[in-house]
Structures are given as structure tokens and as C-alpha cells.
């Protein structure tokens, strides 16, 4: 009687389908290892070694690269007289939801500066009456009416916080600010629950 174990072991060695892929991958691996060791593949800069110093010299010239990098602009700003500095002009988005219109106005009044731009956004959860009250509060404020730098977004979006709709409403506010006034340097996104501890001045 034959041993069943020996019958299976003979079958494994008789089945030669795995030998050809194994030998092919072994040959490719050995070829790559030897070519890496003996340097068959050389870096492209070795063939053109004489051009490398010219490239280094052209990038080392500061007058050629002044227009391309931010550092050159920063150096010009830092080298100017400090008395000519103006405070930055800021653009704010203050967003809120249902029941936040009074907190939005409170935040706006605390951070308000005539040099800045402001956009107020109440999302779709806020009832239309609250949106109208917010728009009327901005419209009836004498300072906001004279300077005309506070806007209430007419189109309300459904905002899921920490989601893509939050980014969409932020981008919409930035588009409004860019369309209405380019006179700002930095954009700050606030919610109605944010309350600054230090004024801009």
C-alpha cells in the first residue's frame, strides 16, 4: 500500500506551472541587483556634468530671481521705514444659524473697524424673519450706512459644520468680498459664538 503523503509530494513537484514565472522573476531581480551594484544605470546629470556649474551660477544671482520669490518682497517691506506701516485691512465672515442674529451683531460691533470689510451669513435653519431682522439691523445702523462695509448675504445656504457646505459658504463670502471691494489684506472666518478678547486697535 502506498503512503498518501508521498503521493501528494510527488504531485507538487510534477506540477511545473510555477517554475516559469519563478525563473523569470528571479532573472529580472538578479539583473536589477547587478545593474544597481555595477552602475549600469547612471544619473542623467553625470552625462551633462559640464552644464551643472552654469545652472548653479544662474540661480545664485539674486537680481535674476528677485521677482519669483516671496522673500524678495518681504525684504523690501522690512527694509522700509516703520513709520510708513499701516495696520492690515481685514475681511471678516461672521456666520450663524437659527437664533444667532443677536450674537452675530454683538460680535460685529466688538470687532468693527471702518477700514475692514464684513459679510454676515445666516444659514437656512434660521427663519426668514430672523434674516430680515439682521439685514434691517445692519441697514439702520448709522455707522454701517455711512461706511458701507457691512454686507448681509442674501442667499442662505444649508451649512453642515465641518463639511463641504461650510467651505462653499466661505468661498461664496470671499467671492462677494472680492467683487465688492479689493481693499483688504487678510480674511478671517468667525462664527456667532466667537467673541474676541482683544480689539484690532
pLDDT of residue 196: 76
What share of the chain has pLDDT > 70, as a percent?
Answer: 68
Q: What are phi and psi of 119, to 5 degrees?
A: -130, 130
Element (H, E) at 118: strand 117-122
C-alpha cell at 43: 544619473
Q: What is the mean pLDDT of residues 154-158?
A: 82
Residue 55: band (very low, low, confident or very high) from pLDDT cuts 50, 70, 90 = very low
In the sheet that holds 90-96, the strands lie side by side as 150-152, 117-122, 90-96, 186-191
Region label for 178, one of left (φ > 0), alpha (ψ between -120 and 50) or beta (otherwise): alpha
- Whether the pLDDT of residue 12 is over 70: the answer is no
Helices in 91-163 by DSSP H: which ranges?
Answer: 101-111, 128-140, 142-147
Work out the pLDDT band at 85, boundaries 50, 70, 90: confident
Better-predicted residue by pLDDT, 163 or 54: 163
- Cα radius of gyration rounded to whole Å, the chain: 34
DSSP-assigned letter for residue 88: P
Look over the chain and give the mean of its residue pLDDT values, rounded to a whole number. Answer: 77
Flag whether pLDDT at 87 surpasses 50.
yes
Instruction: Report the pLDDT averaged over residues 138-155.
Output: 89
Q: What is the pLDDT of residues 57-83, one digit of tens each?
A: 444 444 555 555 656 665 665 665 555
What is the tens place of the pLDDT at every residue in 112-142? Answer: 999 999 999 998 898 989 999 999 999 999 9
How many Cβ atoms from other residues are within 10 Å of residue 112's Cβ? 18
Amino acid at each position: 500500500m502506498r503512503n498518501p503523503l508521498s503521493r501528494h509530494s510527488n504531485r507538487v513537484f510534477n506540477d511545473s506551472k510555477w517554475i516559469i514565472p519563478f525563473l523569470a522573476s528571479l532573472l529580472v531581480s538578479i539583473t536589477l541587483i547587478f545593474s544597481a551594484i555595477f552602475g549600469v544605470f547612471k544619473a542623467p546629470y553625470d552625462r551633462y556634468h559640464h552644464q551643472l556649474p552654469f545652472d548653479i551660477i544662474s540661480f545664485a544671482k539674486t537680481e535674476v530671481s528677485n521677482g519669483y520669490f516671496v522673500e524678495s518682497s518681504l525684504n523690501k517691506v522690512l527694509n522700509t521705514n516703520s513709520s510708513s506701516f499701516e495696520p492690515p485691512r481685514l475681511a471678516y465672515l461672521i456666520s450663524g444659524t437659527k437664533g444667532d442674529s443677536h450674537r452675530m451683531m454683538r460680535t460685529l460691533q466688538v470687532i468693527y473697524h471702518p477700514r475692514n470689510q464684513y459679510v454676515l451669513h445666516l444659514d437656512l435653519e434660521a427663519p426668514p424673519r430672523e434674516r430680515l431682522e439682521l439685514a434691517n439691523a445692519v441697514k439702520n445702523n448709522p455707522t454701517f450706512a455711512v461706511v458701507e462695509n457691512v454686507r448681509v448675504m442674501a442667499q442662505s445656504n444649508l451649512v453642515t459644520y465641518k463639511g463641504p457646505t461650510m467651505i462653499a459658504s466661505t468661498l461664496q463670502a470671499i467671492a462677494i468680498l472680492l467683487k465688492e471691494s479689493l481693499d483688504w489684506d487678510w480674511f478671517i472666518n468667525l462664527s456667532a459664538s466667537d467673541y474676541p478678547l482683544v480689539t484690532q486697535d
